[in-house]
Chains A and B, each alone.
Chain A
Amino acid sequence: MESNNKIKAFLDSLSFRDLTIAIEFLVTGYILYFYLGEITAATEQLRQDPSWVSGLLLKVIVISIVTSIAGQLLLSFVSDKDMDKPLDEREKLIALSGCKPAYWVLQVGVCISIFQYSAEAQNWSQALPFELPFAPLHILVIAFLLAELVSYGTQLVKARLGAVYG
């Protein structure tokens, strides 16, 4: 009975925005898991095939669209009227605070990708961090997904703790 009350109190404390971010976090996490799973499960021959790589990227795009639509449908069942409401000033601040750490993750990903590309172009095989065909592209995609995860994660933590400035 007490745990039911705790769950009810927890759900009650969640704003519609928190729920939206939580769903986006889970969707992005699933896409990253899918992408990494496909790369690690593929054979060496398959990884070198450009059509397989473009097919994988297309799959990622399709999955992200489908899961986003499913997430929005789910949210519309929870509260249809809240979907059209603009963010209030605190929510805008929280959304902005998620951008800074995400930008750093993306920046590191782009730097690694540029180094990987240069090392491949110069044939510095010993300096290569990864022996993976199309590695700069994969690094960029993974960095983008990680940056999104960090952004949503930061927003969730700040929204839950109420510590917008810290």
Chain B
Amino acid sequence: MADLPIKNKIRMLRFMSGEMTQKELAERVGVTRQTIMAVEAAKYSPSLEVAFKIAHVFNVPIEEVFEYQP
């Protein structure tokens, strides 16, 4: 299956936030670790709410986390 056109920098942002684990991010966003894994691997595009929550956790604007690459 082809990856989705919405790419993200979650892996890098986790690394820059003191090697935050996927589990920790998932708990802070309120989703499962598997959902974070799927978002990170560009296999699932999160809702706007979850996308904003992820950006809020890293304290960056949403466009610094997600990027549209058709």
* A86 nearest CB neighbor, chain B only: B30
CB of A163 within 8 A of CB of B1, answer: yes
* B49 nearest CB neighbor, chain A only: A89
Interface 9-mer from B7-15, B34-42, B62-70: B34-42
A55 adjacent to chain B (CB < 8 Å): no
CB of A162 within 8 A of CB of B50, answer: no
On chain B, the number of residues with a Cβ less than 8 Å from chain A's Cβ atoms is 16
* B26 nearest CB neighbor, chain A only: A88
CB-CB < 8 A to A90: which residues of B? 31-32, 34-35, 38, 44, 46
CB-CB < 8 A to B43: which residues of A? 161-164
CB of B41 within 8 A of CB of A162, answer: yes
Q: Which of B20-36 contact A (CB under 8 A)?
A: 30-35
CB-CB < 8 A to B38: which residues of A? 90, 162, 164
Instruction: Give the docked Cα–Cα distance between A17 and B44 (Å).
Output: 17
Instruction: Give the docked Cα–Cα distance between A164 and B32 (Å).
Output: 15
**Which of A91, A164, A166 is the most central at the interface, judged by chain B CB atoms within 10 Å of its CB?**
A164
CB-CB < 8 A to A18: which residues of B? 34
* A14 nearest CB neighbor, chain B only: B34
CB of A17 within 8 A of CB of B47, answer: no
CB-CB < 8 A to B50: which residues of A? 89
A13 adjacent to chain B (CB < 8 Å): yes
Instruction: Give the docked Cα–Cα distance between A16 and B26 (Å).
Output: 14
A89/B32 contact (C-beta < 8 A), A162-B41, A162-B43, A163-B1 known: no
CB-CB < 8 A to B4: which residues of A? 165
CB-CB < 8 A to B31: which residues of A? 88-90
CB of B41 within 8 A of CB of A91, answer: no
A89/B1 contact (C-beta < 8 A), A162-B41, A162-B44, A164-B44 known: no
CB of B37 within 8 A of CB of A89, answer: no
CB-CB < 8 A to B34: which residues of A? 13, 15, 17-18, 90, 159
CB-CB < 8 A to B32: which residues of A? 15-17, 88, 90-91
**Additional 9 contacts, C-beta under 8 A, given A89-B47, A162-B41, A164-B44:** A16-B32, A17-B34, A88-B35, A89-B35, A89-B46, A90-B32, A163-B43, A164-B38, A166-B1
